[in-house]
A and B are shown apart, each in its own frame.
Chain A
Amino acid sequence: RKEVEQDPGPFNVPEGATVAFNCTYSNSASQSFFWYRQDCRKEPKLLMSVYSSGNEDGRFTAQLNRASQYISLLIRDSKLSDSATYLCVVNGGSNYQLIWGAGTKLIIKP
């Protein structure tokens, strides 16, 4: 089992729709969680951190479920510019490594 798993997609979603995807992690001691966005062939950039109580940033909502060991990202009123690959990142363990999921590709269609 991979340490961090994501559905690779692609998720094909019409503009204006709501889309959600999950990411599961295997290390129950993980302490920090993030969502990054990566545009094609470009560097990843932080989208948002994920807090225990859940957090929202505009159209984006992130949630953490420690019991089931997954985090989620919800995008409301999706825009064409939301098309990208979304990377789930988990930080934990004794060596502070960031463990990256392989990403979920999202395509927003007009």
Chain B
Amino acid sequence: EAQVTQNPRYLITVTGKKLTVTCSQNMNHEYMSWYRQDPGLGLRQIYYSMNVEVTDKGDVPEGYKVSRKEKRNFPLILESPSPNQTSLYFCASSATAMNTEAFFGQGTRLTVV
């Protein structure tokens, strides 16, 4: 089954404790991205990757890191989480950057206290 898998689904952590949210897709997609979704603001792109070893900042990259060492995986790293990073996070992948359907993971609800 074609899918994007994110883990964990829910996470409560404390300020400053490094965490990683994993994302994996099994569709051999080139393009992957991370979004955060906050009430009234819609989906905002954090980082995206056009292919292996090619990543770039989205609209809200501060406080986040990513890597793309393999085509299928695109982890999101919060080196020192802060309460303003409390949000719902989605990983998405698509075959190419343009004109193609984006498939989303089920989301990670992160709370930083």
- Residues of chain A whose beta carbon lies under 8 Å from any beta carbon of chain B: 4, 8, 31-32, 34, 41-46, 87, 91, 95-98, 100-103
Contacts of B33 in A (CB 8 A): 98
Contacts of A41 in B (CB 8 A): 88, 107, 109
B41 touches A98 (CB 8 A): no
A42 to B24, CA, bound (A): 18
Output the least CB separation between B103 and chain A (Å).
8
Subset of 23 A-B contacts with CB under 8 Å? A4-B42, A32-B98, A32-B99, A41-B109, A43-B90, A43-B104, A43-B105, A43-B106, A43-B107, A44-B90, A45-B104, A46-B101, A87-B43, A91-B99, A96-B50, A96-B98, A97-B48, A97-B58, A98-B45, A100-B44, A102-B40, A102-B41, A103-B42
Contacts of B88 in A (CB 8 A): 41
- Residues of chain B whose beta carbon lies under 8 Å from any beta carbon of chain A: 31, 33, 35, 40-45, 48, 50, 56, 58-59, 88, 90, 97-99, 101-102, 104-107, 109
Give which listed residue, B41, B44, B98, B104, contacts A91 with CB less than 8 A: B98
The secondary-structure label for the interface of chain A is loop
Output the least CB separation between A14 and chain B (Å).
26
Output the least CB separation between A17 and chain B (Å).
26
Output the least CB separation between B8 and chain A (Å).
15
User: A43-B90, A43-B105, A97-B58 are contacts. A31–B98 as well, Cβ < 8 Å?
Assistant: yes
A95 touches B56 (CB 8 A): yes
Query: Taking each of B42, B45, B88, B97, which has the highest tally of chain A beta carbons within 10 Å of its own beta carbon?
Result: B42
